[in-house]
Structure 1
Amino acid sequence: MFYELSRRVGSVLGRAVYRPAIEGLHHIPAAGPVILASNHLSFVDSVVIPLAVPRRVRFLAKAEYFDGAGVKGALSRWVFASLGAVPVQRGTGRDAMAALREGLKVLEAGQAFGIYPEGTRSRDGRLYRGRTGVAFLALSSGAPVVPVALSGTEKIQPVGARLPRIAPIRIRFGAPLTFTGYDSMPAGRARREVTDRVMAAIGELSGQPPAEGYSERADAA
């Protein structure tokens, strides 16, 4: 109830202030598990997507967003808690797998789960190689993957900016991707191929130039 009220109020305010261009909402199933796999440009991406989608979307959020001090920390904690974000630790491979298992629980409960296959936000606007966690979730749960392309969010909360700015936003949702026939394939190869298909779909929607390697995490990401 609290989430829905927060989402409705935030959605109305966000649309009034930023007037986002939203395309393809009909591609998101009204019920059942679904993975929303998006490019990642800004801190605010995990706010923008849940406010645009007419059903609850759970995201993993780094634990620091819940632990900050002062007014800024309290505001961050309230925003991410209101959106139903799942706090996770980042660092080791064990932490990454624990985070993915939390995402799998969300999908097994029949909910929508958002993930950024790049792992961290792009600092130069290019689309980086996807990490295979999205494939682990898709192949383990059988949930469809809806590719998502954001543009403009990097101008709302640039790295180092203390306050959000007003800038045009565009959100595009693509046709769902389903993955079958991978059971007989080695797990590593299957996850790589699925991830590459997801990233190709995101790139087609976003129009971002591709980067050859992975996006490296910075302290402020």
Structure 2
Amino acid sequence: MKGSGKSMLAILHLILTLATTLLYLFYGAVPSGFVGVLAVAGVFLGALVAWFAVFLLFLIIVMVGFRDANPKRMFKHAVMIAFARYYYCLILRVKLIVTGRENLPKNNLFVIYSNHIEAADPMYLKMVFRRFPVAFISKEVLFKQFLLGDMLRSVGCIPISPGADRSAMNTILEGIKRVKGGQPYCIYPEGRRTYSNDIIAFKPGSFKLATKAEADIIPVAVYDMHEINRKGRILPCTVRLHVFPAILATDYAGSDTIELAKKVETIVGAKMEEFKRLYPTPSHKS
């Protein structure tokens, strides 16, 4: 992804950390010898952690403080994306490679349908669709977590219950209204995370979000996201995201959601198999 390896927030973090360390060097009581070296190193690491905490606090204040503001306001999304790039790409040392950028939509009337590997998937999607106020249809349990629920609601995310009940239908209806109102959404048609590069059947019901809103469908494939949290990982890792050409609302008119689900599942599945051949991870190497 062009520019994904750079972040103004990371540069600011480094400058503030160095400034704090220099202040200690010039004005602090620095011990002499090896103990002094350790003290300076400790101050540097302490400042690194402290400034990270400040940035995290700023994110929380913006998300929670403006929780009731219009979720389509790009300011909130821009703050979240900046922190995501800083944390997921730099702190966690993840390189995001994006293909299909030429397929990014030209307006807000679209719904993203992607395979779902890890909890970090939404943040990488937001980085790629950074010019749009993309929100998510998210698991209900996430909205019950301290602060996280407020942050999700702040950018327009809608909770959905795990079963195909009336509550889940109300979520889709609310999502349809918001998509029509100009806020694009992402929904994960598998219904859960897979923690692997293997996809599972796409649920037809999830496609009502796009069809009832008469929105374009943007298929997306994410690959190797589970490598981010691989146990014992020390070295940087690479993840991939591909944006497919939109399936226009005018093109799928007349199709039912079962057909659409199978079509998008086939599109995404074929790309995942291609990724496996070209970039095999340890679990797929022979």
TM over 0.5: yes
- The change in CA–CA distance for 1:183 and 1:81 in structure 2 (over 3 A counts) is closer
Identify the residue that residue 248 of structure 2 maps to in structure 1. Answer: 178
Instruction: Report the identity percentage.
Output: 22
In the alignment, which of 232, 237, 262 is matched to residue 196 of structure 1? 262
User: Which moves more between the two structures, 119-128 or 194-203?
Assistant: 119-128
1:39-79 C-alpha deviation (Å, 9 max, x unpaired)? 011121122211221222110112221223xxxx44x4465
Asked if 1:86 corresponds to 2:158, the answer is yes
Contact in 2 for aligned 1:3/1:84 (Cα 8 Å): no
Alignment of 1:20-35 (within 5 A): 20-35=96-111
Q: Give the gaps of 5 or more residues in structure 2.
A: 1-74, 276-286
- The change in CA–CA distance for 1:95 and 1:30 in structure 2 (over 3 A counts) is same
CA RMSD in angstroms comes to: 3.0
TM-score between both structures, scaled by the size of structure 2:
0.60
Larger radius of gyration: 2
Give the secondary-structure state (helix, strand or coil) at the position aligned to 1:110. coil
Q: Which has the higher helix share?
A: 2
Identify the residue that residue 219 of structure 1 maps to in structure 2. Answer: none
Asked if 1:154 corresponds to 2:226, the answer is yes
Q: Which amino acid aligns with 1:5?
A: V
1:100-127 C-alpha deviation (Å, 9 max, x unpaired)? 1122122111221101111112255321
- The change in CA–CA distance for 1:193 and 1:104 in structure 2 (over 3 A counts) is same
Q: Give the gaps of 5 or more residues in structure 1.
A: 210-221
- The change in CA–CA distance for 1:93 and 1:128 in structure 2 (over 3 A counts) is same
Which structure is higher in RCO with an 8 Å CA cutoff and minimum separation 6? 1
Q: Distance in 1 between matches of 2:177 and 2:97?
A: 31
Contact in 2 for aligned 1:89/1:95 (Cα 8 Å): yes
Q: Give how far 1:181 is off.
A: 7.1
Give the secondary-structure state (helix, strand or coil) at the position aligned to 2:98. strand
- The change in CA–CA distance for 1:184 and 1:45 in structure 2 (over 3 A counts) is closer
Q: Distance in 2 between matches of 1:89 and 1:182?
A: 28
Asked if 1:205 corresponds to 2:279, the answer is no
Q: Distance in 2 between matches of 1:184 and 1:9?
A: 41
